[in-house]
């Protein structure tokens, strides 16, 4: 509460994309919504990616069913595919959302960040992502060695290539490598108390604070522009 003022802002950090990730995220979001969550910070910083289907299923927690979140394009027609959220994915309230990214966010993390940004579902905060978005095949050679060939590349919904370009944030908040290492080292401490973590975020995590400020701005604007009930007697 002391980080977000009067607003209830949830926080979820995904460290990778594996088989249980989407289900664990669903349970966490259900719990946060029961606690009255009004907005969310999704932290994908230093997430190296993982399984493609897991990244797509994570997107399904925030986007409508049957929404294309990433596509592949290559020279051959067989390399052109669209990956969409499930037609039966669970619909959630469209709460305001920010996604934290940095140069350590790669592959699946970039797919999620790029989709949520392009589809205007979330505000990206932080630094440009790593830029790992290629489909590669391995060809065995007669002498026993192997050749790895890039056959296609991943594209965000607005057809922006991820590979070597990365996904750029809406709000750029750079921090030095030294600051980042110190921050994540401190936050990973098992003995860190909740109040100590809040102080750490306030004093060291400028990216998190900027994400919270962005969400507060969105919610304040929504309050001020919401239709006022006409209580006058007719």
User: SS3 for 115?
Assistant: helix
- pLDDT tens for residues 172-225? 999 998 998 888 888 777 678 888 888 888 889 999 999 999 999 999 999 898
Do 55 and 105 touch, CB atoms closer than 8 A? no
Q: Which of 54, 105, 107, 134 is catalytic?
A: 107
Q: Is 132 a residue of the active site?
A: yes
**At how many degrees (to 10) do helices 194-204 and 177-187 cross?**
170
Pairing mode of beta strands 171-172, 123-126 = parallel
Do 61 and 29 touch, CB atoms closer than 8 A? yes
User: Six-digit token pair at 94?
Assistant: 């469209």
Q: Which helix (H) or strand (E) holds 78?
A: none
Q: Which of 57, 105, 132, 153 is catalytic?
A: 132
Residue 228: CB atoms within 10 A of its CB come to 5
Q: Which of 71, 118, 202, 213 is catalytic?
A: 118
Q: Which whole number is the average pLDDT over 113-118?
A: 98
Select from 5, 10, 8, 121 the least CA-distant residue to 58: 121
Do 73 and 135 touch, CB atoms closer than 8 A? no
Q: Please state the pTM of the whole predicted model.
A: 0.92
The model's confidence at residue 30, banded by pLDDT at 50, 70 and 90, is: very high
Q: Is 145 a residue of the active site?
A: no
- pLDDT tens for residues 6-29? 899 999 999 999 999 999 999 999
């Amino acid at each position: 509460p002391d980080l977000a003022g009067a607003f209830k802002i949830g926080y979820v950090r995904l460290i990778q994309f594996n088989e249980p990730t989407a289900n664990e995220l669903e349970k966490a979001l259900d719990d946060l919504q029961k606690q009255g969550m009004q907005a969310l910070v999704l932290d994908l910083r230093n997430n190296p990616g993982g399984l493609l289907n897991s990244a797509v299923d994570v997107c399904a927690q925030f986007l409508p069913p049957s929404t294309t979140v990433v596509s592949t394009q290559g020279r051959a027609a067989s390399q052109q595919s669209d990956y969409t959220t499930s037609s039966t994915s669970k619909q959630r309230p469209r709460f305001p959302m920010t996604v934290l990214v940095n140069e350590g966010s790669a592959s699946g993390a970039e797919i999620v960040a790029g989709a949520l940004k392009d589809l205007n579902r979330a505000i990206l905060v932080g630094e440009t992502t790593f830029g790992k978005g290629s489909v590669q095949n391995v060809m065995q050679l007669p002498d026993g060695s192997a050749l790895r060939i890039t056959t296609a590349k991943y594209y965000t919904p607005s057809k922006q290539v991820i590979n070597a370009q990365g996904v750029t944030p809406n709000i750029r908040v750079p921090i030095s490598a030294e600051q980042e290492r110190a921050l994540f080292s401190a936050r990973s401490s098992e003995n860190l108390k909740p109040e100590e973590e809040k102080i750490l975020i306030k004093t060291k995590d400028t990216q998190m604070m900027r994400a919270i400020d962005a969400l507060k701005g969105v919610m304040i604007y929504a309050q001020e522009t919401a239709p006022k009930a006409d209580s006058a007697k007719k």
